[in-house]
C-alpha cells in the first residue's frame, strides 16, 4: 500500500487535533471491544503504547533540523462520517494491501475538515479490513509511532478514526507513489530513474532511518522499496510503521520477537533466531542499495536458478572493486564515475555483513552517501563545463554494453 500516500500539509488549527498521551485502546463509539480476540490484541498494543510513552519521555526534547520526537501525539481524531465525506463514500481507490484498501480523500488544509473534490488538500486514507486481527495491532503501531515522531523523511500521519470495527488512518498524499513503481519499471517509453535521483532517494531514506535509530530507540523492521514513498520532487519518506518495534534497552543488544517482514530484505540473524538488532535495519538498507545499483528486485523468481535472490547472487562481486561498474544498471550508463560505483559497492557490502556488529550505523551510512553524492555533483559540474559525458562500456551481468535489459547469467 506504500504507493498511495502523499504531500505535506501546511500548519493546521490545533483545536482540531488530538493531543493526549493516552492513545485510545477502545473504539470511539463503543465501551467494549466486540470479541475476546480484539480485547487481547487491544491489551497488547496498549502495553506497547505505555512502553513507547516511557521511552519517548526519556528523549522528549530531542530535535534536529529535520525532525523531532514529541511526548504527546499531534493527531486529529476523525469520525467515520467524516471519512465517508472526505472520500466521497470511498469512491476513489488508490491501492490495496494486507492492511486493507487505501482511498483518496480531500480535507481543508487548516481545519482538516472534509472538503469538496478538487479543493483543499489531497490525503490518503487507509481503511482496515474488518476481519484482520493483525491489522489492528499494526494500526495501533502506526498511531503510536507516527503520532509522536516527525521527520522530513518519514511520511506524515495526520489523524485516525476508530469507531466500532472501523479503523482508518489519514496520511499526507505522496504524488509520485512508491520507489518500487519507479525503480523497476521496464517501459521503454519512460526514462529510467537517473543515478542522481536514485542517490537523492536513498540518502533521504537513510536520514529517516538514522533518525529512527537515534539513541537506538526504534527498529523499523520492514525496510524495502515499496515502503519508500516519493513526493512531487522525488523526496523520499519512509512509510508503513505497522511492524516497527522499540529497540533494546537496559544494556541489551537485541530484542527477541516473532519473525516478520519481507523475505529478501530481512537480516539473516533475524530469520535464523528471531533476534532483532538495530542494525538488522541496516541489512535491509543494504539490499535496497543493491537494488538501486542494479535496477533489479531483491527477489525475482523469473530469473535463472542461483540468481533469484539478488544478494546471494551478487554479493560475492561487491568485494571485487574492478567489477563494481559491471553491477550497475545498464540503463544509467555514463551517469556515474568509477569511484562512485566502487564506493557504493563498498558501502553496500558493509551493510550486508553477516554479523550485525560489523555493519555500519545508519548515521555512518548517511555520511558515506553524502560523500558519494558530492562526487556525483562534482562530476556533473565537470561534464557541464567540458560539454562531454564519459560513458562506460563495461559489460553488465548478463548484459551487453548496448543493452538495456535486466541482468541475466553472471559470468
Bridge partners of 160? 77, 169
Convert 312-327 to b/e letters by CB count within 10 Å (16 or more is b): ebbbebbeeeebbbbb
Does residue 231 have an active-site annotation?
Answer: no
Alpha helices in 168-306 (DSSP H): 179-183, 195-212, 268-273, 280-294
Catalytic residue, chosen from 108, 222, 281, 329, is: 222
Residues listed for the chain:
411
Bridge partners of 76? 159
- What are 344's three cell numbers? 557504493
User: Counting beta carbons within 10 angstroms of the beta carbon of residue 291, is it exposed (0 to 12), middle (13 to 18) or buried (19 or more)?
Assistant: buried
Residue 127, annotated as binding a ligand: yes
- What are 382's three cell numbers? 565537470
- Please name which of 25, 23, 1 lies closest in space to residue 159, comparing C-alpha atoms: 23
Cα 76 to Cα 162: distance, rounded to the nearest angstrom:
12
Collapsed DSSP state (helix, strand, coil) of residue 351: helix
- Residues with active-site annotation: 222
Give the residue ranges of the annotated binding site.
127
Give the residue ranges of the annotated binding site for ATP.
127
Amino acid at each position: 500500500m506504500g504507493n498511495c500516500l502523499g504531500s505535506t500539509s501546511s500548519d493546521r488549527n490545533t483545536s482540531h487535533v488530538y493531543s493526549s498521551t493516552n492513545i485510545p485502546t477502545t473504539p470511539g463509539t463503543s465501551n467494549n471491544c466486540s470479541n475476546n480476540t480484539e480485547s487481547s490484541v487491544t491489551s497488547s498494543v496498549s502495553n506497547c503504547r505505555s512502553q513507547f510513552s516511557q521511552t519517548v519521555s526519556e528523549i522528549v526534547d530531542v530535535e534536529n533540523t529535520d525532525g523531532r520526537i514529541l511526548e504527546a501525539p499531534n493527531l486529529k481524531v476523525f469520525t467515520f462520517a467524516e471519512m465517508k465525506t472526505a472520500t466521497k463514500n470511498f469512491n476513489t481507490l488508490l491501492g490495496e494491501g494486507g492492511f486493507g484498501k487505501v482511498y483518496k480523500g480531500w480535507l481543508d488544509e487548516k481545519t482538516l475538515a472534509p472538503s469538496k473534490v478538487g479543493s483543499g488538500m489531497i490525503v490518503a486514507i487507509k481503511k482496515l479490513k474488518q476481519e484482520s486481527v493483525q491489522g489492528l495491532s499494526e494500526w495501533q503501531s502506526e498511531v503510536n509511532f507516527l503520532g509522536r515522531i516527525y521527520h522530513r523523511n518519514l511520511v506524515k500521519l495526520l489523524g485516525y478514526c476508530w469507531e466500532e470495527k472501523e479503523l482508518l488512518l489519514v496520511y499526507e498524499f505522496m504524488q509520485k507513489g512508491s520507489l518500487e513503481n519507479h525503480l523497476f519499471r521496464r517501459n521503454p517509453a519512460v526514462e529510467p530513474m537517473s543515478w542522481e535521483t536514485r542517490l537523492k532517494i536513498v540518502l533521504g531514506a537513510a536520514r529517516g532511518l538514522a533518525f529512527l535509530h537515534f539513541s537506538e530507540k526504534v527498529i523499523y523492521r520492514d525496510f524495502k522499496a515499496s515502503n519508500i514513498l516519493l513526493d512531487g520532487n522525488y523526496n523520499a519518506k519512509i512509510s508503513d510503521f505497522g511492524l516497527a518495534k522499540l529497540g533494546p534497552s537496559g544494556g541489551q543488544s537485541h530484542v527477541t520477537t516473532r519473525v516478520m517482514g519481507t523475505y529478501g530484505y530481512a537480516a539473516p540473524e533475524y530469520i535464523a533466531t528471531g533476534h532483532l538488532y538495530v542494525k538488522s535495519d541496516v541489512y535491509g538498507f543494504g539490499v535496497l542499495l543493491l537494488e538501486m545499483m542494479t535496477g533489479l528486485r531483491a527477489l525475482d523468481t523469473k530469473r535463472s536458478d542461483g540468481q533469484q535472490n539478488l544478494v546471494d547472487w551478487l554479493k560475492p562481486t561487491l568485494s571485487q572493486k574492478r567489477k563494481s561498474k559491471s553491477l550497475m544498471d545498464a540503463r544509467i550508463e555514463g551517469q556515474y564515475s568509477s569511484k562512485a560505483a566502487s564506493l557504493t559497492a563498498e558501502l553496500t557490502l558493509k551493510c550486508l555483513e553477516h554479523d550485525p556488529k560489523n555493519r555500519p550505523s545508519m548515521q555512518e551510512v548517511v555520511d558515506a552517501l553524502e560523500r558519494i553524492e558530492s562526487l556525483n555533483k562534482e562530476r556533473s559540474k565537470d561534464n557541464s563545463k567540458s560539454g562531454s559525458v564519459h560513458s562506460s562500456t563495461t559489460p553488465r551481468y548478463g548484459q551487453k554494453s548496448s543493452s538495456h535489459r535486466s541482468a541475466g547469467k553472471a559470468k
